[in-house]
């Protein structure tokens, strides 16, 4: 199949999933066309089967806001015609599903029919999409998609609760390339980060308020009072400066390593003992799955899709949002006893196996095939 993929190219779960999906589909023989405003961060390979088409928005002084969705829909029309793209898979409703629908309508005028598969990722529904300002456009885009998927059952429930949805929604969970997290390499440079007697705690996110990164600091502060430990803090975002200031106030700046954005999180996770994800909401929690795939147990909140990924008492623990004491207690339970830690590490890796890309990517292929078949009948 010739598949067009639209996503946000920046660091963020939806872009990562879309990129990994495209790369795996290309290995399975499909021709993939990424259409977005920057080369996706994890898209290192451009090959015969993988193409990247940049959407540029010409600056025009009359426009107070440059019309990205207009540029995207025009680019989609051009690329579908030029490359014979058969199906468009758009990740994140706003504005991708909306722009794809416009492209589909323009193409129909020329008797070209391209179905749209929309994957909802979380904040496009729970935070941004449900805002009264966007709600009509998001509802319309979901209802006009030829197939709709969500990355967790919880996100499907949220979508049906928050919007007036007439379409079926299929849950296709996020996935992981387990081979990438199979730490065959021996340069797992733990010694550079911490002493042998120190435990390594890690947090990775885009440091937006929804990630509640101050809770990461509070839990780590409590942990390091009880056990020698270091915190690996990975990501860039609006909360970073406040976090640095708080670490200084608490006198733990020397115990926290700030990495900024990293494309090598597997290398950091390979020497981590525990992952903290105290988010306010999380439709899935791809970062938690990446940690688990590396054999790192997870202390997370129990919101959204997190209980579908992190299994309480098995791969880690779940707590109510903001319950620092409970998160600390659970973290210490895992870290204080080496045998316990080993059990949780093994369990985390085993639970991650459920999300192996070889099991999940065929579900998308089946959706593309069904959607194309249904559209031929119409
Ligand atoms: O979590 C983020 O800040 C980024 C956001 C995105 O759209 O890139 O992530 C959402 O999609 C990920 C991939 O499906 C999910 O793993 C995240 O849980 C989800 N984030 C939220 O729901 C807050």
| Predicted local confidence at residue 252, as pLDDT | 97
- By DSSP bridging, strand 199-204 and strand 169-171 are unpaired
| Predicted local confidence at residue 109, as pLDDT | 96
Q: What is the mean pLDDT of residues 96-114?
A: 96
Q: What is the mean pLDDT of residues 179-189?
A: 67
How many Å apart are CA 39 and CA 43, to the nearest integer? 7
For 358, residues 6+ apart whose C-beta sits below 8 A from its C-beta are none
Residue 16 clears pLDDT 60, i.e. is over it? yes
Ligand 1 pocket: which of 125, 236, 284, 290 to mutate (most atoms within 8 A of CB): 284
Q: Measured from the CB, is residue 287 less than 6 Å from ligand 1?
A: no
Residue 185 clears pLDDT 60, i.e. is over it? no
Residue among 172, 118, 117 nearest 375 (CA)? 117
Q: Thinking of the domain 178-355, which architecture would CATH place it in?
A: 3-Layer(aba) Sandwich (3.40)
CA trace torsion 164, 165, 171, 172 (10° rounding): -110
Q: Measured from the CB, is residue 235 less than 6 Å from ligand 1?
A: no
Ligand 1 pocket: which of 122, 128, 265 to mutate (most atoms within 8 A of CB): 122
Q: What is the mean pLDDT of residues 214-231?
A: 98
Check if 2-175+357-377 and 178-355 are the same fold: yes
The rounded Å distance from CA 138 to ligand 1 centre is: 17
Ligand 1: which atom is nearest the Cα of residue 126? Answer: 22
Ligand 1 pocket: which of 10, 12, 293 to mutate (most atoms within 8 A of CB): 12
| Predicted local confidence at residue 335, as pLDDT | 97
How many Å apart are CA 118 and CA 100, to the nearest integer? 9
Ligand 1: which atom is nearest the Cα of residue 12? Answer: 8
Q: Measured from the CB, is residue 290 less than 6 Å from ligand 1?
A: no
Mean pLDDT over the full length of the chain = 92
Q: What is the mean pLDDT of residues 206-219?
A: 96
Q: Measured from the CB, is residue 286 less than 6 Å from ligand 1?
A: yes
Are the CB atoms for 279 and 306 separated by under 8 Å? yes
Q: Measured from the CB, is residue 200 less than 6 Å from ligand 1?
A: no
Handedness of CA 309, 310, 314, 315 (dihedral sign): positive
Are the CB atoms for 233 and 256 separated by under 8 Å? yes
The rounded Å distance from CA 239 to ligand 1 centre is: 17
| Predicted local confidence at residue 192, as pLDDT | 81
Residue 184 clears pLDDT 60, i.e. is over it? no
Q: Is 65 helix (H, G, I), strand (E, B) or coil?
A: coil
Percent of the chain whose pLDDT exceeds 90: 79
Backbone angles phi, psi at 271, to 5 degrees: -110, 15
pLDDT per position as a tens digit, 254-264: 999 998 888 77
pLDDT per position as a tens digit, 41-90: 777 766 779 999 999 988 888 888 889 999 999 999 999 999 999 999 99
Lowest mean pLDDT among 125-129, 209-213, 308-312, 349-353: 125-129
pTM, two decimal places: 0.93
For the chain, give every domain's residue range. 2-175+357-377, 178-355
The rounded Å distance from CA 268 to ligand 1 centre is: 20
What CATH number is given for 2-175+357-377 in this structure?
A: 3.40.50.2000
How many Å apart are CA 134 and CA 347, to the nearest integer? 41
For 274, residues 6+ apart whose C-beta sits below 8 A from its C-beta are 199, 200, 201, 202, 296, 297, 298, 299, 316, 331, 334, 335
How many Å apart are CA 202 and CA 103, to the nearest integer? 42
- H or E stretch including 23? helix 13-27
For 20, residues 6+ apart whose C-beta sits below 8 A from its C-beta are 42, 175, 177, 357
H-helix segments, 231-270: 240-250, 265-269
Are the CB atoms for 72 and 90 separated by under 8 Å? no
């Amino acid at each position: 199949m010739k598949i067009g993929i639209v996503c946000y190219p920046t660091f963020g779960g939806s872009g990562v999933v879309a990129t990994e999906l495209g790369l795996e589909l290309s290995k399975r023989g499909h021709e993939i066309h990424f259409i977005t405003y920057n080369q996706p961060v994890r898209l290192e390979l451009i090959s015969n089967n993988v193409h990247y088409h940049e959407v540029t928005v010409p600056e025009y002084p009359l426009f107070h806001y440059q019309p990205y969705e207009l540029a995207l829909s025009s680019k989609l029309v051009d690329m579908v015609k030029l490359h014979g793209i058969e199906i468009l898979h758009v990740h994140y409703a706003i504005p991708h599903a909306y722009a794809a629908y416009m492209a589909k309508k323009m193409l129909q005028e020329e008797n070209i029919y391209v179905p749209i598969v929309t994957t909802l990722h979380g904040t496009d529904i729970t935070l941004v999409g449900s805002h009264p300002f966007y709600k009509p456009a998001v509802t319309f885009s979901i209802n006009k998609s030829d197939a709709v998927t969500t990355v967790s059952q919880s996100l499907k429930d949220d979508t049906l609760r928050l919007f007036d949805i007439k379409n079926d929604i299929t849950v296709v969970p996020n996935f992981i390339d387990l081979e990438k997290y199979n730490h065959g390499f021996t340069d797992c440079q733990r010694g550079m980060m911490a002493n042998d007697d120190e435990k390594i705690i890690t947090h990775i996110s885009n440091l937006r308020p929804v990630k509640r990164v101050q809770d990461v600091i509070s839990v780590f502060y409590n942990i390091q009072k009880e056990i020698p430990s270091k915190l690996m803090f990975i990501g860039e975002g609006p909360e970073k400066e406040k976090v640095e200031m708080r670490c200084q106030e608490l006198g733990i700046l020397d115990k926290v390593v700030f990495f900024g954005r990293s494309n090598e999180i597997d290398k950091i996770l390979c020497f981590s003992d525990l992952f903290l994800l105290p988010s306010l909401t999380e439709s899935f929690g791809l970062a938690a799955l990446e940690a688990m795939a590396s054999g790192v147990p997870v202390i997370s909140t129990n919101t959204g899709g997190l209980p579908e990924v992190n299994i309480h008492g098995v791969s880690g623990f779940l707590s109510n949002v903001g319950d620092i004491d409970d998160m600390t207690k659970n973290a210490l339970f895992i870290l204080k006893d080496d045998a316990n830690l080993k059990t949780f590490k093994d369990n985390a890796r085993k639970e991650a196996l459920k999300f192996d890309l070889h099991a999940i990517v065929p579900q998308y292929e089946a959706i593309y095939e069904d959607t194309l078949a249904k559209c031929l009948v119409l």
